[in-house]
Amino acid sequence: MLIKKTRIPVLHILTIGFLPSFLKKFVYRLKGYKIASDASLSLGCVVIGKNVEIGKKSSIGFFTIIRARNIKIARYVKIGAMSAIDTESISIDDDARINEQVYIGGTTTPQSSLTMGKRTIIMQASYINPTMPITIGDDSGIGGHCLLFTHGSWNSILEGYPVKFAPIHIGKKVWLPWRVFVMPGVSIGDGVVVGADSMLNKDVPANCLVAGSPAKIIKENFPAPLKEDEKRKIVDDIFKEFIQHLNHHDFIAEQKSITNGFELNIKNKHTQSIITFCNTMTDAPPAKTTNSILVLNKGTAILSSNYAMAVSLENNTRIGTSDVGEELLQFFSRYGVRFNRLD
């Protein structure tokens, strides 16, 4: 073969992969990689590229292989154990996640690339084939055992068999649950939900529910907007379940009413935190502790009055951080509610 490429970079794994994270980052920086000081590179993982950037608080799991000419991993990205990414160009934005045992690779071309937006996820055991570009918009989820192929060929094109090479585009807030197959050239609009075990072989317009093999539109103008009182009831129910979640893990969580909202006092033997929920910023009382979190029903998240973290439910924004705040937002993510970082 004129162009040779090892399938598994065994030598790189043996010489660099087994180094502890701080030594591995040192070696990679000598190669010109830009790696944040608080990024984490687990045992056995390797990153092989020409232009490499890894942002703060990002982590790469046990024995994961990432190989591309251009690698850009932004902030707070998590890539699970035993995964493999092998293509020409990789761009993963803030808070995105790739779970365990995901394979991203296949036949490469100069156009081969994977671009993942903010807060996207690819779940375990999925196979992504970026022979041609694959783009996944912000807040979209690829469920486990999904298959995304940008090329399809086996029998000879000279004998009349079909061969197709074409990119895949997945819009924002798209949900592909488990075992969805996306064919080459498919474009999926924003806000689409796909039924499990579906196969998509043609474009899907925005804001609809599709299912089947091949998939057909089941419902348009999906989902129906909620009324304000319906939203508030859902938020109240999420907080009730969050209290149960904390109590189950040996925290004491007590709720009391305040003007246009409530306070949630959380404590155990070592820490005490307060989550304040109110309608707008003008309703927010001064923070009672240095570990207070402000959750606004309306408006944009703004840090003030010594709050460690502020969150807005209206426009899904967040600023600052704290352990209890991160726990709360992770709990909200169970219900598909995710937040854009303003800092």
- 72 vs 285, more confident: 72
How far apart (Å, rounded) are the C-alpha atoms in residues 120 and 64?
19
Share of the chain above pLDDT 70, in %: 100
Among 201, 220, 239, where does a domain finish? Answer: 220
Residue 5 lies in a domain: no
Domain total of the chain: 2
Over residues 172-194, the pLDDT tens digits come to 999 999 999 999 999 999 999 99
Over residues 247-287, the pLDDT tens digits come to 999 999 999 998 889 999 998 877 889 999 999 888 888 88
**Residue ranges making up the domain that contains 249:** 228-341
Residue 138 lies in a domain: yes
Residue 3 lies in a domain: no
Q: Which long-range contacts (CB under 8 A, 24 or more apart) does 162-171 make?
A: 165/109, 165/131, 165/132, 166/132, 167/111, 167/132, 167/133, 167/134, 167/135, 168/132, 168/133, 168/134, 168/135, 169/134, 169/135, 170/134, 170/135, 170/136, 170/137, 170/140, 170/142, 171/137, 171/140, 171/206
Return the residue matching tokens 């197709």.
Answer: 164
How far apart (Å, rounded) are the C-alpha atoms in residues 136 and 8?
26
How far apart (Å, rounded) are the C-alpha atoms in residues 321 and 27?
31
Q: Is 109 exposed, middle or buried (0-12, 13-18, 19+ CB in 10 A)?
A: middle
How high is the pLDDT of residue 66? 98
Reply yes or no on whether the pLDDT at 302 is more than 90.
no
Among 188, 204, 220, where does a domain finish? Answer: 220
How high is the pLDDT of residue 187? 98
pTM for the full predicted model = 0.93
Reply yes or no on whether the pLDDT at 325 is more than 80.
yes
Over residues 89-105, the pLDDT tens digits come to 999 999 999 999 999 99
Q: How many CA atoms lie within 13 A of 17 on its CB side?
A: 19
Please state the rounded mean pLDDT for residues 148-158: 94
Please state the rounded mean pLDDT for residues 326-332: 96
Q: Phi/psi of residue 281, each to 5°?
A: -65, -35
Tokens (6 digits) for 22? 């701080």
Among 220, 243, 271, where does a domain finish? Answer: 220
Q: How many CA atoms lie within 13 A of 65 on its CB side?
A: 16
Q: What is the DSSP letter of 206?
A: S
How high is the pLDDT of residue 287? 81
How high is the pLDDT of residue 136? 98
Residue 2 lies in a domain: no
